[in-house]
């Protein structure tokens, strides 16, 4: 990584906040929050789908994980760290919450959080069910189970404190469009984009309300990414590209969702006393990386680092048959596969979330 990708004002601001926190706490490895609890799709899946025999989307094979610890695939959809890994490190955690379905998600490992993410999950349970992923409704049930397990480990009073002070991350929704709406004629006939976005943000609002009822007070939710800039969607729906190479129509769909998400978050905060909700803008940094990669030190934003498949769901993922075809330097590519950023791009995206994250921590 070049220094230009690791010393932005946003990252300096977060490092300053961390330094102040550590100074006041007197700890070298103090955590800014006691736990990180994550819900969502492949953007935060750290291996839950490895434990689902029927799951369509898995990242348990090379070249996934090529630049991660011990150079092995863990279930993360990238060559290395994903955004939640980077967030955990920035917040002072020495390790990452294991996938909740893993045997490692037990005992003292529960004290620092849980990860319920499942590739191909989305706001709509119908989308997740199409690909045998963990639905958002089921992730919430697992969270309730986690609360009971945490109380058994930490005691009820300490568990309540951990849950109230934890950072909750919700990162999902892309699949509702690229794995469902754009392929589902009956769904797109029943809902235009505006009404479909209303449906999805309504699901998020209900989900956040339930988290609040169960003790959550700090929630960060990601925006929709630039759907029209993803290599897989360009490959599938390439007609009508702009001079930047992205698909304006699909990006407008994402922008519609993001406007409605921001409005919904504002209403949530006004309605729920003591609740903080931050919108993590993924759209802007990933669009900028996609349209002007050289400005951030990247060489390629249209081609993927790994070779993706040719048909069906394989256009989204690295092709396990041609794993040897991975690029030589993943850090020069914005996208590792057809949908997911490289670790280098994830670092840029994580930096852009810092200012919103600070609001949750103060």
10-residue mean pLDDT profile of the chain (362 residues): values are: 46 50 47 94 98 97 94 96 94 94 98 98 98 99 99 98 97 98 97 99 99 98 98 88 87 99 98 97 97 97 93 86 82 98 97 78 79
The predicted pLDDT at position 184 comes to 97
What pLDDT score was predicted for residue 122? 99
> Global pTM?
0.92
State the CB neighbour count (10 A cutoff) for residue 141.
12
Residues 42, 102, 171, 290: which is the catalytic one? 42
Q: In whole angstroms, what is the distance from residue 125 CA to residue 180 CA? A: 11
Q: What is the Cα–Cα distance from 255 to 251, expressed in whole angstroms?
A: 6
- The residues near 287 (Cβ < 8 Å, ≥ 6 apart) are 226, 229, 246, 251
The rounded distance, in Å, linking the Cα atoms of 269 and 289 is 31
198 noted as active-site residue: no
Distances, alpha carbon 94 to alpha carbons 25, 88, 90, 346, 349, in Å: 17, 8, 10, 19, 21
Pairing of strands 36-40, 167-171: parallel
Alpha-carbon distance 52 to 346, whole Å?
26
Catalytic residue among 79, 281, 288, 337, which? 337
C-alpha angle 6/10/13, rounded to 5°?
105
Centre a 10 Å sphere on the Cβ of residue 361 and count the other Cβ atoms it contains.
17
Contact 32, 21 (CB under 8 A): yes
pLDDT of residue 325: 72
Across the chain, the runs of DSSP E, i.e. the strands, are 36-40, 113-115, 167-171, 218-222, 276-280
- If we measure between CA atoms, which residue out of 172, 175, 154 comes closest to residue 164? 154
Beta bridge partners of 333: 300
**How far from 233 is each of 9, 130, 161, 213, 240, CA to CA, in Å?**
32, 19, 43, 37, 12
Domains of the chain, each with CATH number or no CATH: 30-361 (3.40.50.1110)
- Residue 167: what pLDDT? 96
pLDDT at 310: 79
Rounded to whole angstroms, what are the CA distances from 155 to 115, 235, 239?
A: 21, 52, 57
Q: Exactly one of 79, 340, 342, 352 is catalytic; which is it?
A: 340
- What is the separation, in whole angstroms, between the first and last Cα of the chain? 30
Known catalytic residue: 192?
Answer: no
340 included as an active-site residue:
yes
Distance of CA 284 to the CA centre of its chain: 15
pLDDT at 98: 96
Q: What is the pLDDT of residue 3?
A: 39
């Amino acid at each position: 990584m070049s220094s230009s990708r690791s010393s932005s004002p946003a990252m300096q601001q977060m490092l300053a906040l961390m330094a102040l926190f550590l100074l006041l706490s007197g700890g070298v490895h103090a955590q800014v929050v006691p736990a990180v609890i994550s819900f969502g799709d492949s953007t935060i899946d750290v291996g839950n789908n490895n434990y689902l025999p029927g799951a369509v989307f898995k990242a348990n094979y090379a070249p996934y994980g090529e630049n991660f610890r011990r150079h092995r695939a863990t279930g993360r959809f990238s060559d290395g760290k994903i955004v939640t890994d980077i967030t955990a490190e920035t917040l002072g955690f020495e390790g990452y919450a294991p996938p909740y379905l893993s045997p490692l998600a037990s005992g003292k490992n529960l004290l620092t959080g849980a990860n319920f993410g499942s590739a191909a999950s989305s706001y709509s349970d119908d989308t997740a069910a199409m690909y045998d992923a963990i639905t958002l409704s089921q992730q919430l049930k697992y969270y309730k189970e986690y609360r009971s397990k945490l109380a058994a480990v930490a005691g009820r009073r300490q568990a309540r404190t951990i849950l109230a002070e934890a950072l909750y991350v919700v990162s999902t929704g892309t699949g509702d469009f690229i794995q469902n709406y754009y392929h589902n004629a009956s769904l797109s006939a029943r809902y235009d984009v505006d009404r479909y976005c209303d449906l999805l943000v309504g699901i998020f609002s209900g989900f956040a309300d339930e988290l609040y009822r169960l003790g959550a007070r700090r929630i960060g939710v990601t925006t929709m990414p630039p759907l029209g800039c993803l290599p897989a969607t360009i490959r599938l729906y390439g007609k009508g590209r702009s001079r930047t190479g992205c698909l304006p129509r699909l990006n407008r769909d994402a922008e519609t969702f993001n406007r409605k998400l921001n409005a919904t978050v504002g209403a949530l905060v006004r309605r729920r006393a003591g609740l903080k909700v931050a919108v993590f803008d993924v759209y802007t940094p990933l669009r900028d990386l996609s349209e002007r990669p050289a400005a951030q030190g990247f060489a390629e934003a249209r081609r993927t680092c790994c070779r993706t498949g040719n048909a069906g769901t394989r256009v989204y993922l690295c092709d396990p048959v041609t794993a040897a075809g991975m690029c030589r330097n993943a850090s020069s590519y914005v996208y590792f596969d057809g949908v997911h950023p490289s670790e280098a791009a994830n670092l840029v995206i994580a930096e852009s979330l810092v200012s919103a994250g600070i609001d949750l921590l103060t």
